[in-house]
Amino acid sequence: FWLSWDKKRDAYQFSKLCGKALPADMKLIDSGYEMVTGTWGEVDVGTTDTAKYKEYENADGTATFSVQEWAFETEYSKGFYINKEYVSVEKDSEVTESILDKMDTIKKLKFIGPIGWILGNLLLYMPIFDIKILNDVRDVLTWPYIVAGSIVLGIIVVCAFIISRTMR
């Protein structure tokens, strides 16, 4: 989640990452280039980083969808506007344990998600490879049956270990 200042609306925009599918009711309202002029907290951008952006809004202007093309990635986010009277920035604010736990869980899921996707696809499509193909691969690598089986088992165990260590 992040909070950014919108000069045109004279309000803050509260956003979070989302999928890249543009909602049907959104219309393009602004596009161009933006530069980071300041940050607060743990962020993955630095001051003076720039991005190409496209800003979309729904018909009544309450919901937003943004596309930001940074040098290293493209981010898609959705959010809404908050009047500036409702926002105050406190220098010495305390982050509660529940918020830290949620942030930690999200960080872990960003790591585990791709691993789960890869393992799921391997398990889903593995039956497509018949035994003859697997035997041909084993013959090319000149591995005995016991070594080939141990390597596959080892990969599964290592992935399970990484996932279990990450979830702690």
> What residue spans define the domains of the chain?
2-86, 97-166
Among the ranges given (42-51, 103-112, 120-129), the one the predictor scored with the smallest mean pLDDT: 120-129
What gap in Å lies between CA 20 and CA 11, rounded to an integer? 25
113-130 pLDDT tens trace: 888 888 777 777 666 666
Position 147 pLDDT exceeds 70: no
What's the pLDDT band for 155 if we cut at 50, 70, 90?
Answer: confident
**Any idea what the Cα angle at residue 49 is, between residues 47 and 51, rounded to 5°?**
140
Residue range 124-143: mean pLDDT, rounded: 67
pLDDT bucket at 146, cuts 50 / 70 / 90: low
H-helix segments, the chain: 97-125, 131-141, 145-166
Confidence of residue 43 (pLDDT cuts 50, 70, 90): confident
Angle at which helix 145-166 crosses helix 97-125, to 10 degrees, equals 160
